[in-house]
Amino acid sequence: MAAKVHDASKTTSPPPRQLRQLAETLRPELPSLAAEIIDEIRRSIPEYAQPLDGPYGHSLRVGTAETITSFVDQLSGKPVSTDHLEEICRRLGENEERVGRSMDQLQAAYRIGARVAWQRIMKVGRRYPFSSQVVSMLADRIFAYIDELASLSLEGYLRAKAGSAQARRELHRRLLRAILADSAELPELAEAAGWPLPEAVTMIAVDGEDLPEDPLLPPVLLADLHPGDPCLLAPGEVGAADIDEVHEALCGVRLAIGVTVPLQQAADSLRWAKQALQMAAAGALPNAKTLRCEEHLITLWLAADPALVEQIGDRVLGPLAELPVRQRERLSETLLAWLRARGSAALMAEQLQIHPQTVRYRIRQLEDMLPGQLRDPDSRWAMEAVLRSRAMSAYHDPDVNR
């Protein structure tokens, strides 16, 4: 694709004299040939049937004339610089991408140009004593030349497409960050990105640094995969199919799906999702590829401020701190079971795998140490929260002697 255009006309036969003679024979035909090619392209391809009195028409006429003139100059042995022509071809491809077309129309235009040129060669060849071999070889060179022009245009098309994709990704990244910051420029960015602002969103925290540069993510997602704080934003709720696509695009990294919240609370959803990743890394949440925060809300809440949880614990469970470790652990375990079982000694005994009488004995101890608190709803709620938090920490901390 990167080969020079003039390479398409290089060969060892037919003899250079015959090629030069044929090229000079064709030279007077070039103005009318260029006009015929333009007319046929505009007639056959509706997308190119625009008025020719503006910049479009000027570019079309100049480009066609330079293309066929350069080819004839090469055949005649003249030194030719093809840099300008190559850039014209690349820009033709870039323009196709810019206006939202595929390369189909431009490729068809090149084929039409080659066909019209070949028909003219056949017509000229009948008026002059050139052998069929010379005419045939010239036809081969025309089609090779056209193929190279089309390749250069494809190169420009792909270059423009890559640039457009990069610009689109950057705009989406800016929009995502504007949503998280509740920025005043949010409406303008959303309009520029063609991304209607939804009423609710779900943030997705991504656990990974070495992520693909241009992953094939679901188009509804906004992405910022810069190292350090990679995340995604989904409008509304996130379905299982979308998650599967994200896993495939990001090579199976762990994802934490935040809570679906109003657009203005997107930062909260991301904060909870990032917290879930941190807790999973510490062993406080399951070691799963997909963590859904909505399934771990209590755990996330209790872990949000462990120092504050301990302050509450000192107030509602302070007397237990004076007991020996083993006795404190047994009574704490019994109290949590009592709170969960709503006071059923038989159910507690089954959960703790001890005799119901032992359960009743421990409850009497707790009532003596925590007078009135087991009957107070606020105290019971606070005690259960603290005990749940401590049980979670002890379960996931291998250094805790349980």
* Shared domain check, 327 and 292: no
First to last CA, the chain: 69
Cα gap 68→383, rounded to integer Å? 88
What is the per-residue pLDDT across 76-96, written as a single tens digit (0 to 9) for each? 878 778 888 888 888 888 888
* Shared domain check, 44 and 107: yes
* Shared domain check, 9 and 158: yes
Specify the pTM: 0.55
pLDDT of residue 3: 43
* Shared domain check, 18 and 99: yes
* Shared domain check, 295 and 329: no
Cis peptide before 14 (omega within 30 of 0): yes
Domain boundary among 114, 144, 162: 162
The yes-or-no verdict on residue 260 having pLDDT over 90 is yes
In a domain, 184, yes or no: no
In a domain, 61, yes or no: yes
What's the domain count of the chain?
3
Q: Characterize the bridge pairing of strands 231-235 and 222-224.
A: antiparallel
pLDDT of residue 163: 65
Residue 37: name the closest of 82, 1, 69 by CA: 69
Query: Sorting pLDDT into bands at 50, 70 and 90, what band is 267?
Result: very high
Largest CA distance in the chain: 122
**What is the extent of the structural domain holding 18?**
5-162
In a domain, 65, yes or no: yes
In a domain, 357, yes or no: yes
Instruction: Name, of 125-134, 151-160, 356-365, the range with top average pLDDT.
Output: 356-365
Those residues with Cβ within 8 angstroms of residue 195's Cβ, 6 or more apart along the chain or in another chain: 172, 175, 222
Find the mean pLDDT for residues 129-147.
80
* Shared domain check, 328 and 368: yes
* Shared domain check, 310 and 295: no
Find the mean pLDDT for residues 205-221.
84
* Shared domain check, 102 and 49: yes
Is 67 within 8 Å of 149 (Cβ atoms)?
yes
Domain boundary among 257, 278, 303: 303
Bigger pLDDT: 198 or 126? Answer: 198
Q: Which amino acid is at 370?
A: L
Q: Counting beta carbons within 10 angstroms of the beta carbon of residue 184, is it exposed (0 to 12), middle (13 to 18) or buried (19 or more)?
A: exposed
* Shared domain check, 332 and 271: no
What is the per-residue pLDDT across 340-380, written as a single tens digit (0 to 9) for each? 887 688 888 888 999 989 999 999 999 999 998 988 988 88
CATH assignment of the domain containing 156: 1.10.490.10
In a domain, 371, yes or no: yes
Cα gap 284→264, rounded to integer Å? 29
* Shared domain check, 348 and 299: no
The yes-or-no verdict on residue 14 having pLDDT over 60 is no
For every residue of the chain, which 3-state class applies, written as one string? CCCCHHHHHCCCCCCHHHHHHHHHHHHHHHHHHHHHHHHHHHHHCHHHCCCCCCHHHHHHHHHHHHHHHHHHHHHCCCCCCCHHHHHHHHHHHHHHHHCCCCCHHHHHHHHHHHHHHHHHHHHHHCCCCCCHHHHHHHHHHHHHHHHHHHHHHHHHHHHHHHHHHHHHHHHHHHHHHHHHHCCCCHHHHHHHHCCCCCCEEEEEEEECCCCCCCCCCCCCCEEECCCCCCEEEEECCCCHHHHHHHHHHCCCCEEEECCCEEHHHHHHHHHHHHHHHHHHHCCCCCCCCEEEHHHCHHHHHHHHCHHHHHHHHHHHCHHHHHCCHHHHHHHHHHHHHHHHHCCCHHHHHHHHCCCHHHHHHHHHHHHHHCCCHHHCHHHHHHHHHHHHHHHHHHHHCCCCCC
pLDDT of residue 6: 46
pLDDT of residue 85: 86
pLDDT of residue 142: 85
The per-residue pLDDT of the chain, averaged, comes to 84
* Shared domain check, 316 and 273: no
Cα gap 84→13, rounded to integer Å? 28
In a domain, 188, yes or no: no
In a domain, 321, yes or no: yes
Domain boundary among 252, 270, 303: 303
